[in-house]
Amino acid sequence: MDKITGEIIKDTVSFADFKDHDGQIVCIKGYIHRIREMTGFAFVIIRTAKDTIQCVYAPEFSDYRWDEKLCEEACVKVTGKVVSSKDAKGNDRYELQIHGIDILSLPATNLPIVVNKKQLDNIQLSTILDLRPIALRNPKERAIFKIQEGIARGFREYLAQNGFTEIRSPKINFAGAEGGTNVFKLDYFGKEVFLAQSPQLYKQALVGVYQRVFEVAPVFRAEHHDTSRHLNEYTSMDLEMGFINSFEDIMNMETGVLKYIMNLLKTEYKEEVELLHADIPEITEIPVMKFMDAKELLMKKFKYNPTDMKDFDPKEEELLGKYAKKELGSDFIFITHYPSKKRPFYTMDDPNDPEYTLSFDLLFRGLEITSGGQRVHDYNEQVAKMEKCGMNPELFETYLMFHKYGAPPHGGLGIGLERLTMHLLGFSNVREATMFPRDINRVTP
């Protein structure tokens, strides 16, 4: 009987390891990114998962003869000799002298867009999104989601190092956790249920077990408007911490996470950062301003007349971002103590001034990327607050189990992964930082 052993057969060499194989015959697999015919020889650029590798075909290198079926976007296995060359780019200037090419598959037709340029020039975002699986083959497009991988990886790594347990909460829920009208209703075998707006109720409950938890997962918001910063499905990076001393513990944890992420990007995602000209912020400390002080600043310094005294509009966030950068030298600013009326039922009111809450948002270059705060942990207080918010606590019996049977002082936050990626890369539309965006007009690809 045949048996599978788990042995990983490594029949190819990565570009990074070419230097250890100088003068040797190696194998690489990938797409033909580009063919440049010259007189008497041709450059064949192979695109692997990470690199574009310069290979050279010339009849004098071996007995192999060019197959006329070879074309750009063919999947191939290339065998050749690693040589250093002053013409080759990057990685100590190594290239491959081709000794053979095996065709693994050929495209059925030409690509609808040119992907082998430095960037996708003059192509509308909607076309890029329509053609996402192909458009992502462009190295610059591909790099966006390597950066995004780095952000989520940094979040996970830092929290795991700080005693957090990764959780998985259900996405089909008995109630929307965040309130408002942007909840997707679902027919669940004849019963009305909702797609998770956030893991809020579950991450709180699990603080009662693991004390510190986090989740990186999709959440759903039925956004009725087509804006440049709202998606109907986005990735929420959530954390929740028990036994906190104050809600500043949460802001400190976020500052630590962000420092770790930025450092990881600078070190392990250097090539992508350079390719995308990403401006990775230096974080030493993050300034903090109270909501009402920020409103006053907007009115006095910027002569801005607010339309809503309970929240910020995008223009106000932008102005606060500019102020933080110019006057405080920071790409980030925490705004704390949002009005109680605007924060969800689980938010703890400030005991010194119950009109306001022990909550915060984090603005990054003028865009809200995080909401967080301390939660109500006392059972009676939570029931009373739900009633005040016009909710029926009986419908939240399973959520309230946590409070009823003993909850520690706790709090947490949620970071929008796509929004953070968007402003890190200087994009003006969150869709550019979303692999397969879902908005009011788009559910494909």
Work out which of 147, 231, 253, 261 binds ligand AMO, going by CB under 6 A. Answer: 231
Chain residue whose CB lies nearest ligand AMO: 416
Nearer to ligand AMO, 294 or 413 (CB): 413
Closer to ligand AMO by Cβ: residue 139 or 437: 437
By CB under 6 A, residue 138 contacts ligand AMO: no
Nearer to ligand AMO, 66 or 184 (CB): 184
* Token reading at 438: 């879902």
Tell which one of 30, 409, 416, 437 touches ligand AMO (CB under 6 A).
Answer: 416
**Looking at beta carbons only, is 95 or 178 nearer to ligand AMO?**
178
Write down the least CB distance from residue 177 to ligand AMO, Å: 6
Please give the C-alpha separations between residue 270 and each of 158, 281, 384, in angstroms, as whole numbers.
19, 14, 51
371 near ligand AMO, judged by CB under 6 A: yes
Q: With CB under 6 A, what is the number of residues at the site for ligand AMO? A: 23
Rounded CA separation 80/120 (Å): 30
What's the burial of 290, exposed, middle or buried (CB within 10 Å: 0-12/13-18/19+)? middle
Beta carbon of residue 287, minimum distance to ligand AMO (angstroms, whole number):
18
Of 101-120, binders to ligand AMO (CB under 6 A) are: none
Dist CA 336 CA 341 (whole Å): 14
Distances (CA, A) of 304 to 6, 159, 287, 310: 64, 39, 21, 15
CB-wise, 54 or 434, nearer to ligand AMO? 434
What is the rounded CA–CA span in Å between residue 392 and residue 174?
13
Given the DSSP bridges, would you call strands 288-290 and 332-336 parallel, antiparallel or unpaired?
Answer: parallel
**Smallest separation (angstroms) from ligand AMO to the CB of 203:** 7
Cα radius of gyration (the chain): 26
Nearer to ligand AMO, 115 or 413 (CB): 413
Residue of 47, 81, 212, 230 that binds ligand AMO (CB under 6 A): 230
Contact between 176 and ligand AMO (CB under 6 A)? no
DSSP at 282: P
Torsion of CA 112, 115, 117, 123, to 10 degrees: 60
Measured N-to-C along each axis, helices 397-404 and 379-388 cross at an angle, to the nearest 10 degrees, of 140
Residue among 97 and 198 whose Cβ is closer to ligand AMO? 198
- Out of 30, 80, 150, 372, the residue judged to bind ligand AMO by CB under 6 A: 372
Asked if 198 interacts with ligand AMO (CB under 6 A), we say: yes
C-alpha 439/C-alpha 431 separation (Å) is 9
Minimal distance, residue 166 CB to ligand AMO, in Å: 16
Amino acid at 264: L
The stretch near ligand AMO (CB under 6 A) out of 208-216, 286-294, 316-324, 413-421 is 413-421
Shortest distance (Å) from residue 231 CB to ligand AMO: 4
Q: Is residue 369 a contact point for ligand AMO (CB under 6 A)?
A: yes
CA dihedral 133, 139, 145, 151 (to 10 degrees): 170
Q: Which amino acid is at 95?
A: E
Q: Does 343 bind ligand AMO (CB under 6 A)?
A: no
CA gap 272, 435 in Å, rounded? 16
Q: How far is the CB of 240 from ligand AMO (least distance, A)?
A: 7
Strand order in the sheet with 191-195: 172-173, 191-195, 185-188
Shortest distance in whole angstroms from residue 311 CB to ligand AMO:
11
- 368 binds ligand AMO, rule: CB under 6 A: yes
Q: Which residues bind ligand AMO (CB under 6 A)?
A: 178, 198, 200, 221, 223, 230-231, 234, 236, 238, 368-373, 412-414, 416, 418-419, 430
